[in-house]
Amino acid sequence: MVLLDIFDPKAPPKPIGIDLGTTHSLVAYVRDGRPVTLTTCDGTALLPSVVHYGEHGSILVGAAATSYATRQPERTLQSVKRFMGRGAKDVDPEELGAYRFKRPESEAEAAVVRFDLGQGRSVTPVEVSAEILRSLKQSAVDQLTHVGGVVLTVPAYFDDAQRQATRDAGRLAGLEVLRLLNEPTAAALAYGLDQKKNGTFAVYDLGGGTFDVTILLLDDGVFQVKSTGGDSALGGDDMDRLIAEQMLVAMGCTEPSTRTSEVVSIALDAARQAKHVLTDEDRVVVQLPKRGGGEASYELSRATFDSMIQPLLERTGRVCRRALRDAGSSASAIDGVILVGGATRVPRVHSYVEELFGQKPLGDIDPDRVVAYGAAIQAELLAQASDEVLLLDVLPLSLGIETMGGGVDKILPRNLTIPAGAKSVFTTYADNQTGFEIHVVQGERELAKDCRSLARFTLKGIPPMPAGMARLEVAFDVDENNLLKVSARELTTGIEQHVEVKPSYGLSDDEVEQMLIDALDHGEEDFAARRLVEARVEASRLLLATRKGLLDDGDLLPAEERRRVDAAMEELEAAVQSAGRAGVVQLKLDALDAATHDWAGRRMNRAIQAAIAGKAVGEVEKDVAQAEGVEAHLERHGHRAGDEDTKEAR
């Protein structure tokens, strides 16, 4: 195993973008200013999102796995994206599928969907997705040698649970997840930078299992989402199911008992193929095996297919109209419609979108690759901390807390620009009450039980007080990944509350860590080694960034602080060279962080002043005295000798 992965400024790790799709996944990077997809283990750009678990422990991903789909459907998992962040209760027993789900044996187990592979083995959607990501990562390493951070895309309408699950899958696959990026935004980024067009655009993203619509404003490097809407359980797969249902009848399999996984798998596979044929042909005839022997002939015309999928399309239409309303826009105000996702190749989808928006969708984009391209671009921009592009995305679903009566108190409304945050002040209802629970939900419904339960936050350690006296301020922050963080403070005493998070779904940090350890050959040992490498890479990166920062804003550091920063940097360098454990490096990282804390604030003030003045940060040198803010200004004038030192040090 390669232990030394020290960051070499001459050959920096290449950041990549990954589109983890329902039916296909891709990995891309930016080469010479343009995004390109990498070849996957199948030798193609598109890797089927299929994983086969062999009886003797082998794991296959991609086309090799797909070949087992009809033979061993229960060990060959497809379209697991639909189950990410979902619990056993969310699975619709009526829906056609070849999965065999494991019945949960406890409340805790029921929090996550599990697929029963037989012989006592089961896997979660996170683990399956991690296999796909691992394969893509390997392809990237094979072609790029040094792989840096990754931007993973998610449907815009994914809730917090689904996003956390995606990030967990990334971590499990050993990826450094830089950002979770919404798929429509990724597409708009790729399209916008390529075409350099400005205006209001609608991205209509119909994938295998999810539907998103996003209304964005593109304006010279600014990509501002106005609104987003969607349905995270609607996609091309649903079209397949409609056809498969009819095929099963033709096959003589109407009774549920006749619908074994193999039979369903055959029908779904044939349905998908029929759908593809109807993209170019007016009708398709399929020979299907018949129950009891022989063959059945099934015929489908495009006209019939079109009417079968009309209800699905109308669902997307309702979502689009709401998104337009939320954006304060209308179809006529849209300058262009961008189609994303394989399902948009269906001719009826194309014509429906044209009717909906009153214009022909834009034609110069590859609906299969555009999301991966956008992810690669964002990864590159983040790695450079570039200010060339400003991406302003939104919270897709309202966040609220459950009230006494089972209703929802909305704290952060949907379509809020992220990062966003709000504070709520609570009080106790009983004397000496030292803790209480907050149930956070996500969704637009009136009742908490109809919304997605995200987590129960238990606040502990409230100082004993008469009822109603405590002032518990709970801060709900949604970060740039659209992930929720909760923190709490008791205002009368100022004590930071211990907030315990019990997620309603998914895996805790400890569980993910344990899975990582289990997955490595030498468990704990390898895990520790990996952590050390990661810590050293992060340290090298930070040292480089700090040195650069000193060149730009070294004048904002008075002598004494500068000495502390220099000392902290030296200690961190030493740790990178000689430390045997990640913890040691982390300590020095934290120390440098602390030493540069105030300076970081001043740098931000300077950047703000420059931004408001409409100038680029570098041009502001002459105005520093005014722009610095009171603190820095006073320091300068109070430390004459130090001032000179600082100037020289630059």
Q: Which residues of the shown chain bind other proteins in the complex (CB under 8 A)?
A: 178-179, 222, 224, 318, 321-322, 325, 381-383, 385-387, 390-392, 401, 403-404, 409, 411, 416-429, 436, 438, 471, 473, 475, 477, 479-480, 489, 491, 541-542, 544-546, 549, 589-590, 592-594, 596-597, 600-601, 603-604, 607-608, 610-612, 614
Q: Is 237 a catalytic residue?
A: no
Q: Following DSSP, what letter does each residue of 142-166 receive, concatenated?
A: HHHSSEEEEEEEE-TT--HHHHHHH
> Under 8 Å CB-to-CB from 187, ≥6 apart: which residues?
203, 205, 338, 340, 365, 370, 371, 374
Element (H, E) at 372: helix 370-383
Which one of 19, 159, 237, 393 is the catalytic residue?
A: 19
As a whole number of angstroms, the distance between CA 473 and CA 425 comes to 4
- Produce one character per residue of 206-230: b if its CB has 16 or more CB atoms within 10 Å, e if not: bbbbbbbbbbbbbeeeebbbbbbbb
As a whole number of angstroms, the distance between CA 283 and CA 331 comes to 33
Cα 257-262-264 angle, rounded to 5 deg: 65
Closer Cβ to other proteins, 165 or 178, answer by number:
178
CB of 426 to other proteins, least distance (A): 5
Closer Cβ to other proteins, 200 or 224, answer by number:
224
Which one of 127, 168, 205, 555 is the catalytic residue?
A: 205
Q: Which of 95, 96, 112, 94 is nearest to 104 (CA)?
A: 112
Cis peptide before 464 (omega within 30 of 0): no
Closer Cβ to other proteins, 113 or 408, answer by number:
408
Q: Is 19 a catalytic residue?
A: yes
CB of 565 to other proteins, least distance (A): 11
Q: Which of 474, 392, 464 is nearest to 428 (CA)?
A: 464
Q: Is 81 a catalytic residue?
A: yes
CB of 231 to other proteins, least distance (A): 15
Q: Is 548 a catalytic residue?
A: no
Which one of 14, 81, 137, 588 is the catalytic residue?
A: 81
Q: Tell me the C-alpha to C-alpha distance, in Å, between residue 627 and each of 527, 606, 641, 649.
A: 47, 6, 22, 21
Cβ(371)–Cβ(19) under 8 Å?
Answer: yes
Closer Cβ to other proteins, 245 or 598, answer by number:
598
Q: Which of 367, 325, 332 is nearest to 350 (CA)?
A: 367
CB of 422 to other proteins, least distance (A): 5
CB of 579 to other proteins, least distance (A): 18
As a whole number of angstroms, the distance between CA 575 and CA 532 comes to 11
CB of 259 to other proteins, least distance (A): 36
Which amino acid, one-letter code, is at 111?
A
Query: Coil, strand or helix: which one is 96?
Result: coil
CB of 333 to other proteins, least distance (A): 16
Cβ neighbours of 5 (radius 10 Å): 14
CB of 407 to other proteins, least distance (A): 12
Closer Cβ to other proteins, 109 or 326, answer by number:
326
As a whole number of angstroms, the distance between CA 38 and CA 112 comes to 32
User: Measured between alpha carbons, how far apart are the two ends of the chain, in Å?
Assistant: 41
Q: Tell me the C-alpha to C-alpha distance, in Å, between residue 582 and each of 529, 531, 538.
A: 8, 6, 11
Place of tokens 């796909």: 132
Please name every residue paired with 118 in a beta bridge, in sequence order, or none if there are none: 121
As a whole number of angstroms, the distance between CA 266 and CA 251 comes to 10
Place of tokens 């005014």: 626
CB of 586 to other proteins, least distance (A): 10
Cβ(234)–Cβ(157) under 8 Å?
Answer: no
Q: Following DSSP, what letter does each residue of 32-81 receive, concatenated?
A: TTEEEEPP-TTSSSPEE-EEEE-TTS-EEETHHHHTTTTTSTTTEEE-GG
CB of 465 to other proteins, least distance (A): 14
Which one of 183, 212, 240, 555 is the catalytic residue?
A: 183
Catalytic residues: 19, 81, 183, 205
